[in-house]
Amino acid sequence: MSKSIPEILSGRELGIEEILVLLNSSSMESIELFRKAEEIRREFVGNRVYLRGLIEISNICKKNCYYCGIRSGNHKVKRYELSDKEIIEAALIAHKNGLASIALQSGEIENPAFTARISRLLKKIMEISDSQLGITLALGEQSEDVYKEWFDAGARRYLLRIETSDRELYGRLHPDDSGHSFNRRVECLKSLQKIGYQTGTGVMIGLPFQSINDLAHDIIFMRGLDIDMVGMGPYIEHPLTPLIENKSHLMSKNDRLELSLKMIAVMRIVMKDINIVAATALDAIDPNGREKALRSGANIIMPNITPEQYNDSYYLYDGKPSANDSDGLSLKDSLIAKGFEIGTGEWGDSQHFLRRGKGPVNL
Ligand code: SAH
Ligand code: SF4
């Protein structure tokens, strides 16, 4: 007979069977799960929530992932690219407002001009912030040399979601070509770790063809990689993507939200000292989605500080919140009003990374 939820929560290391029981818990049972995740979060990474100002620098992408609204095959999306000036200004506002950390995200572009541009921007951001701003990149798959160049220019964290750790499911979500290789994605994560980045990955939750068993294995996979950060959230269908054909097979959006919160809580219990992001996609289902994640084990939130006029163009999925957190201050204030303690002026490094013996990462 399988163990009860309280037995599992008071036990030691969780195996696949225990993770499955937790992910299958009812709404009533999951209250206990969330409570435990909160307790572990407080004990291992503290009370504070850390902010990362998110700058979506471009929606130009060479890839064609079947789930994503800015895939290259979507010719209806208006493409944009922020100028260097706009990026530097957004970084400066973040710095002035005490967001100790920013994240630069974009569609995947892989060429020497892009590499050089990012290096230039990184150096400039370090310069204008007197090396005070922590910089995370989410710029997709690149060669190890490129990752190294960006690290040397000042980037310290990298987010690259594996999307799903199940190779077969990965194959159903991406075109079958060398530009969308599961192996390369894993190799990229390993390169990032080798170079010394705080390395983050994650998955989408509630994808078509995805089972709870797949998700339980995702958690085991991420533990196996010994990652420092996790960003994961619900899959949300986009009308101009191939996966929309499977819309009728999806679980309800509320179930996807509930399952995402359970994934976050289990992840916290399994990898106690990592940073976990309350993903923006949670807010596309419930305006308090990210806040609920922060009460279920997550400790990082990323206010969107992209200049407002570009907000509707970085449209990954249907209903993506276009409300801009502009300067990061409104989100910060609303979290404080709700009783959260914010780590203003602190990088909020992954404790897991620090304990792995990599030492302090501040320059
Ligand atoms: N191009 C980079 C970073 C930008 S995309 C990359 O792919 O790594 C950032 C994330 O958006 C992706 O990792 C994916 O998990 C998420 N995303 C894309 N389409 C989505 C959808 N329809 N629903 C939920 N998340 C989505
Ligand atoms: Fe491009 Fe990332 Fe979207 Fe894939 S998920 S199409 S790589 S932006």
Per-residue pLDDT tens over the stretch 298-320: 999 999 999 888 877 777 877 77
Q: Please, where are the H alpha helices in the chain?
A: 5-10, 16-23, 27-45, 84-96, 112-128, 144-152, 167-173, 182-195, 212-225, 253-270, 281-285, 289-294, 329-337, 351-353
Tell how far the Cα of 68 is from the centroid of ligand 1, in angstroms. Answer: 6
* pLDDT tens-digit series, residues 40-58: 999 999 999 999 999 999 9
Alpha-carbon distance 268 to 311, whole Å? 31
Determine the atom of ligand 1 nearest the C-alpha atom of 279: 25
161 close to ligand 1 (CB < 6 Angstrom): yes
User: The whole model's pTM is what?
Assistant: 0.95
150-182 pLDDT, tens per residue?
A: 999 999 999 999 999 999 999 999 999 999 999
Determine whether the shortest distance from the Cβ of 236 to ligand 1 is under 6 A: yes
CB-based contacts of 111-115 (< 8 A; 24+ apart in sequence): 115/142, 115/146, 115/149, 115/150
Using CB distances shorter than 6 Å, the residues near ligand 2 are 61, 63, 65, 68, 70-71, 107-108, 140
Of all protein residues, whose CA lies closest to atom 7 belonging to ligand 1? Answer: 140
| Burial of residue 227 (number of CB atoms within 10 Å: 0-12, 13-18, 19+) | buried
